[in-house]
């Protein structure tokens, strides 16, 4: 199937469930278009009206994935501007959402796997990968509370992931499960007060972090296993 036919098929599938929109952002001097959910707030309203016994409500599966956060824009800009990932490098994005960061990694010709807990997020990641880079990233559903133990990557990418304290420890365990020896996490964080304890837990678990760059809206960190 041609790229255009794949784009059409994915858009048609997603348009059956969502009103689609388009956001345009300047990423490292390039105008990048991202297909998105036109009214992400409506997804929160829909969840509020859902059956209280449904899995999404019981597990508090809030649709954060449908918003393109500043942290993702900052990490995308840094990845496109700098040689932080190499062609052919094995890269996995945690919580890919709409897939912008994964798409930029595809532009850098890395071997990219986009992951999320929400199946439709993976569809958006495939669509945006095709539109931005002409490449469909590999995709995988991941719950940080039970990460796969047989998949390993040189670099993990994450943008705005520490917004719920109950997921801090599972996220750190996911880093450990998915990283190769000597691997690193490129982690973009808006530095909310809520997220600060995450870095304390990270250090207590034997990890180290350093600042790559501070931008308006987010700081990009490199996280590695401690000595």
What is the per-residue pLDDT across 126-177, written as a single tens digit (0 to 9) for each? 999 999 999 999 999 999 999 999 999 999 999 999 988 999 999 999 999 9
129-to-6, 84, 88, 103, 187 alpha-carbon distances in Å: 11, 19, 16, 4, 20
d(CA 127, CA 65): 15
* CATH, domain range 3-225: 3.40.50.150
Nearest to 222 by CA among 65, 27, 82: 82
Tell me the three state secondary structure of residue 147.
Answer: coil
Q: Which two tokens stand for residue 187?
A: 């982690």
Residue 58: predicted pLDDT: 43
Mean pLDDT to the nearest integer, 97-117: 97
pTM: 0.92
CB contact set of 190 (below 8 Å; sequence gap of 6+): 69, 70, 71, 160, 217, 218, 219
Nearest to 98 by CA among 64, 59, 141, 136: 64
**Confidence label for 209 from pLDDT (cuts 50, 70 and 90):** very high
d(CA 213, CA 30): 20
Nearest to 153 by CA among 110, 118, 109, 116: 110
**Sign of the C-alpha dihedral computed for residues 164, 153, 74 and 211 taken in this order:** positive
């Amino acid at each position: 199937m041609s790229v255009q036919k794949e784009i059409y098929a994915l858009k048609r599938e997603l348009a059956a469930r969502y009103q689609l929109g388009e956001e345009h952002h300047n990423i490292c001097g390039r105008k990048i278009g991202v297909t998105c959910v036109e009214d992400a707030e409506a997804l929160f309203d829909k969840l509020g009206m859902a059956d209280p016994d449904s899995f999404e409500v019981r597990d508090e599966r809030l649709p954060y994935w449908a918003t393109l956060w500043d942290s993702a824009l900052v990490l995308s800009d840094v990845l496109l501007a700098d040689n932080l990932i190499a062609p052919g490098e094995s890269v996995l994005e945690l919580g890919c959402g709409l897939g912008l960061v994964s798409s930029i990694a595809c532009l850098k010709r890395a071997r990219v796997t986009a992951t999320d807990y929400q199946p439709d997020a993976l569809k958006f990641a495939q669509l945006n990968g095709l539109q931005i880079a002409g490449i469909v990233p590999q995709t995988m559903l991941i719950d940080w509370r039970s990460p796969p133990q047989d998949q390993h990557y040189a670099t993990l990418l994450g943008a705005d992931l520490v917004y719920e304290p109950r997921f801090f420890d599972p996220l750190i365990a996911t880093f450990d499960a998915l990283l190769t020896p000597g691997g690193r996490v490129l982690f973009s964080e808006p530095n909310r007060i809520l997220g600060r304890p995450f870095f304390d837990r990270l250090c207590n678990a034997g990890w180290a972090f350093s600042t790559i760059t501070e931008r308006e809206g987010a700081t990009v960190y490199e996280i590695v296993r401690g000595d």
